[in-house]
Amino acid sequence: QGTEVAFGTVQQDTSLPVEVSADALSVSQNDGSALFTGNVIIGQGDMRLSAPRVLVYYTENQSGIERLEATGGVTLVNGDQAAEAESAEYEVNRGTIRMVGNVLLTQGANTLVSDSMDVDLEAGTAQMNGRVRTVFQSGHN
Amino acid sequence: MYSRLIAWLKILLPLGALILLSTIFLYSRGPDPISTIPVLSGGGDPSKTEQIGSPFYAGTTENGQGLTLAARQARMLDSDGAGVVADDLRAVIDVRDGNRITIDARTGRMQEGDMLLLRDGVTLESSSGYTVTTNGLNAEIDRVAIESTEAVDATGPGLTLSAGKLRVEESSDTNDIQLLFTDGVKLVYTPQPNEAE
C-alpha cells in the first residue's frame, strides 16, 4: 500500500537539459560506464538531486543517458519539499526518480517516512510505498 | 673572269661554312658548373635542420596496448638537438579488446624519457563515444598515461562536459583504460523524450 503525495510546486518539464556537476568523473573505456564522484549535484529545472556517488547508464545504442544511479545517501530537493534516502535511480528520459532505503520526505512542517518512494517529476507527484509513517508538527508554528 | 670568280667562290664559301660551324663549338659560352648548383646560402648548418618526412613509430606499451605515432613531418630541435618536434601528429592507442583512443595534435614534442608533449589543437577521440578537445596533453609512450595540462571540453553520447583536467590511465586491476576528468566536472545532457517509450 502507499500514499500519493504532491511533490514539487509545478509540473516539471522533463525535456529541460540535465546538468551534472561533480568533483570527478571517470569513464571506463571498454564498457563506457561513467561514474561521478565527489559531491555530485544533478539538476533539472528547480529539482536538485545530490549524492556522493552517481553511476551513469547509457541507452543501448549509446546515443544518450538512460538513467543515473545515485548512492551513498541522497537528498532530493524540489521547490520547498526535500526528500532523503539511501539511494535513488533517476530515469532521465522518463523524468521519474525512485528513492529506496528509509526515505524521509519533509513538506513544510510535516514529514513522512517510508521504505521507498517513486517521484514523477512530470506530474509533480510522489508515491510513497512500503510502511508509511507520518510525523505531524502539532501546535507551535 | 667568270670562271675565276667561281673558282674563288668554291674555296671561300666552304671555308666560311667551316668558320661558322666552329664558332658553335669552340667559342661557346664558358660553362661554369659551380655557380649553377643550388647551394644552401646563409651559412645554415644543414645537419641541424634535417627533417624526416611522414615519420611513423609503432610499439606496444608495457602491458600489451598497441601504440602508433604518425606525423606529417618531424624535425630536430635546433637549440640542443635533444628533442624532436613533429607537426600534425596523430597517436593511436589500440586497447587489447578492440577499443581505440586516437589523439590528434598540431605539434608534438618528444622529450627524453618517452614523454610526448602535445600542444595546440589537441583532440582525443575514444571509441567509448567521447571526444575531448584541449590545448595541451602530455602522453607517455611506453605506457598508457596521458594527462592534460589545461582545462578540457568534451562531448560524449548525447552530452557535453567540461573539466579542469583529464587523465587517461590504465586501472591496474582490470587493465581497462579509464578517462578521469577531475578538478570539477560540469556535464549537460538534454534528454530525448522519444527514447523513453
Average pLDDT over residues A80-87: 88
Q: What are phi and psi of A73, to 5 degrees?
A: 95, 105
B132-140: list long-range contacts, CB under 8 Å, 24+ apart: B132/B166, B132/B179, B134/B166, B137/B103, B137/B105, B137/B166, B139/B91, B139/B103, B139/B115, B140/B114, B140/B115, B140/B116
Q: Which of A19, A58, A66 sits opposite B188 (nearest CB)?
A: A19
* Nearest-Cα residue of chain A relative to residue B98: A30
**Which of A30, A35, A58, A68 to mutate: most B Cβ within 10 Å?**
A30
Enumerate the residues of chain B whose CB falls inside 8 A of the CB of residue A19.
Answer: 186-189
pLDDT tens column, B76-110: 765 555 677 888 888 888 876 677 889 999 888 88
| ∠ Cα B110 B113 B116 (to 5°) | 30
| Least confident piece of the model among A8-17, A35-44, A124-133 | A8-17
User: Between B56 and A51, whose confidence is greater?
Assistant: A51
- Domain coordinates in residue numbering, chain B: 2-196
Average pLDDT over residues B7-31: 84
In this prediction, residue A137 carries a pLDDT of 66
* Nearest-Cα residue of chain B relative to residue A64: B158
With cell 539511494, the residue in question is A87
Question: How far does CA A59 lie from the centroid of its chain?
Answer: 19
Query: Do the chains contact at A29 and B191, CB–CB below 8 Å?
Result: no
Query: Do the chains contact at B163 and A94, CB–CB below 8 Å?
Result: no
In this prediction, residue B195 carries a pLDDT of 45
In this prediction, residue B133 carries a pLDDT of 93
| ∠ Cα A33 A75 A102 (to 5°) | 100
In this prediction, residue B80 carries a pLDDT of 59
pLDDT tens column, B57-80: 888 877 777 888 888 888 776 555
Interface A-B, measured as beta-carbon pairs within 8 A, has a size of 113
Q: How far is A138 from chain B (nearest CA, A)?
A: 42
Measured CA to CA, the distance from residue B51 to residue A112 in angstroms comes to 74
In this prediction, residue B79 carries a pLDDT of 59
Q: How confident is the model at residue B175 (pLDDT cuts 50, 70, 90)?
A: low
Average pLDDT over residues A47-55: 92
Nearest residue to A67 via CA among A89, A46, A99: A89
CB atoms within 10 A of CB A52: 16
Q: Does B172 touch chain A (CB under 8 A)?
A: no
Helix or strand (DSSP H, E) at A114: strand A110-120
In CATH, the number for domain B2-196 is 2.60.450.10
In this prediction, residue A2 carries a pLDDT of 64
Q: How far is A71 from chain B (nearest CA, A)?
A: 18
Q: How far is B170 from chain A (nearest CA, A)?
A: 10
Beta bridge partners of B152: B163
Cα four-point dihedral sign A5, A11, A12, A15: positive
Q: What is the CA radius of gyration of chain B?
A: 34
Query: Do the chains contact at A62 and B157, CB–CB below 8 Å?
Result: yes
B47 has pLDDT over 70: no
Measured CA to CA, the distance from residue A23 to residue A40 in angstroms comes to 7
In this prediction, residue B52 carries a pLDDT of 80
**Which of A25, A54, A60 to mutate: most B Cβ within 10 Å?**
A25
Average pLDDT over residues A52-78: 87
Measured CA to CA, the distance from residue B87 to residue A73 in angstroms comes to 50
Average pLDDT over residues A12-18: 77
